[in-house]
Amino acid sequence: MEIITQEYKKFITKIKSKILSAQLKAHIKVNVELLNLYWDIAQMIVEKQKQSSWGDKILANISKDLKKEFPDMSGFSVTNIKYMRQWFIFYANSQQLVDQIFQIPWGHNIHIVSKSKSIDEALFYVNTTIQNNYSRASLVQEIQKDLYARNGKAINNFERKLPKIHSQLAQETLKDPYNFDFLDLRQSHDEKELEDALMKNMTKFLLELGQGFSFLGRQYKIVVDNNDFKIDLLFYHVKLHCYVVVELKVTDFKPEYAGKLNFYISAVDEEIKDELDKPTIGILICKSKSDTIVEYALKNINTPIGVSEYTHTEILPKEYKSSLPTIKEIEEEFRGIEYE
C-alpha cells in the first residue's frame, strides 16, 4: 500500500538532501585528490628541471611514459602537463592560497591562471567561483568581461552611510562600468529604449548585475502623500537583505540625479521596507560621469548610493527607430491633417 503524506514527503526530501550532500562531498574530495596529484607532479618537474639541464622538451617524454603506464587515466597530455607546471609556478610563492584553489575544478584553475595578471586577480576569480558556484562557461564569460577590473569600482558613499560589514558587501555588488553589449541599441537611444531592451534581456541583465538580485518591477509605483512616483527598476538583494533602487540615465551624470534617487530610496525605506530589511541602497547607471562631480554630489546625500557608467556596442544603425510612432510624432501627424 502506497502511503504518501506531507510527513513522508519531508522525510524523503531530507534523504535526498543527504544523498546530494554526500555526492557533492565525494566530488569535492575527488577534485582535491586530483589537484593534489597535479600539484605534486608539477612540483617534482619544476624542482628536477632546476637541478638538472632538462629543458621543456622533457615534458613530451614524461607525457608519453605516463600515458603508457596509466592508459586508463586522462590528464597526462603534454598540454596538460604544461598547464600543471604553469599553475604550480604561478602559486608557488603563495602556498597559503592552495586550500582555496583546490576548491574549484581543474578546468576553472587553468582559465584563471592563463588569464590573470596577478595573484590578487586570480584569487578574486577563485573566490567568486566558489561563492557563486560558477560553471566553467560562466567563469570564462566573467573573465572576458573583465569582472575583476570592474567589480566594486563604482563611486559610492556606502562606507559613510552603512554599517561596516553591510558596506563592504554592498560595495562588492557594484560594477563600473556595467557591460550592456547584449543589448541592441542605437547610439542615440533614449531611456525608454534602454529600459525596454533591458526588460527583453532580463536574464542577461541579472547576470551582469551579479548574484543575489531579484527583480521586483519596472516603473514601480510608490505613493508618497497621495502623490504617485515611479521608480525605473526595483530589486531585492537576497544576500544583502535589502531593496535596491536602480535609476537609468542615457546622459552624463548630473547632481540632481543623485537628489532624485535619494528621494526614492527614502520613500522605499518608509513605505515598503520591513523592520527586518537592511537599509535600501540605490544604484544610478548613467552613460558617462565625472568622478569629481559624483563625489561632490554624494558628499551630503543621506542615503547609500553608488554611481556607475554603462557601455554597449552599437548594433542598430543610427537611423533605426521603433516601428511604433512616438506621441510627439502622432501629434505632428494630426496637426498636418486638414479636415473636410
The pLDDT score that the predictor gives to residue 339 is: 34
CA distance 142 to 125: 9
Q: Which amino acid is at 199?
A: M
Which string of DSSP letters, residue by residue, matches 165-189?
A: HHHHHHHHH-BSSEE-TTS---TT-
Q: In sequence order, which residues have a C-beta less than 8 Å from that of residue 151 and are 6 or more positions away?
A: 124, 172, 174, 175
CA distance 90 to 39: 11
- Sign (positive/negative) of CA torsion 125, 130, 132, 133? positive
**pLDDT mean by block of 10 residues, the chain; 340 residues:** 64 71 71 90 90 84 90 91 95 82 92 94 92 87 91 91 90 93 88 95 93 94 96 95 97 97 97 94 96 95 96 60 47 43
The pLDDT score that the predictor gives to residue 56 is: 82
- Whether 25 and 62 have beta carbons less than 8 Å apart is answered as no
The residue to which cell 553608488 is assigned:
306
CA distances from 338 to 331, 333, 334 (A): 13, 11, 9
The pLDDT score that the predictor gives to residue 54 is: 78
User: Would you tell me the crossing angle of helices 6-51 and 58-69 to the nearest 10 degrees?
Assistant: 140
Q: Which amino acid is at 3?
A: I
The residue to which cell 612540483 is assigned:
43
Which string of DSSP letters, residue by residue, matches 207-275?
A: HHH-TTEEEEEEEEEEEETTEEEEEEEEEEETTTTEEEEEEE-SSB--HHHHHHHHHHHHHHHHHT--T
The pLDDT score that the predictor gives to residue 318 is: 47
**pLDDT tens sequence across 273-322:** 999 999 999 999 999 999 999 999 999 999 999 999 999 876 544 444 44
309 by DSSP, 3-state: which? strand
The residue to which cell 556595467 is assigned:
178
- Whether 268 and 234 have beta carbons less than 8 Å apart is answered as yes
Q: In sequence order, which residues have a C-beta less than 8 Å from that of residue 132 and are 6 or more positions away?
A: 138, 211
- Whether 289 and 159 have beta carbons less than 8 Å apart is answered as no
Angle at 166 between CA 216 and CA 304, to 5 degrees: 65
The pLDDT score that the predictor gives to residue 185 is: 87
Q: In sequence order, which residues have a C-beta less than 8 Å from that of residue 78 and are 6 or more positions away?
A: 59, 60, 63
Nearest to 126 by CA among 144, 145, 105, 141: 105
Q: Could you give all domains of the chain from N- to C-terminal order, each with its CATH number? A: 6-147 (no CATH), 155-311 (3.40.1350.10)
The pLDDT score that the predictor gives to residue 4 is: 63
| Residue 299 Cα to chain centre, angstroms | 27
The pLDDT score that the predictor gives to residue 214 is: 94
CA distance 269 to 243: 8
CA distance 143 to 86: 19
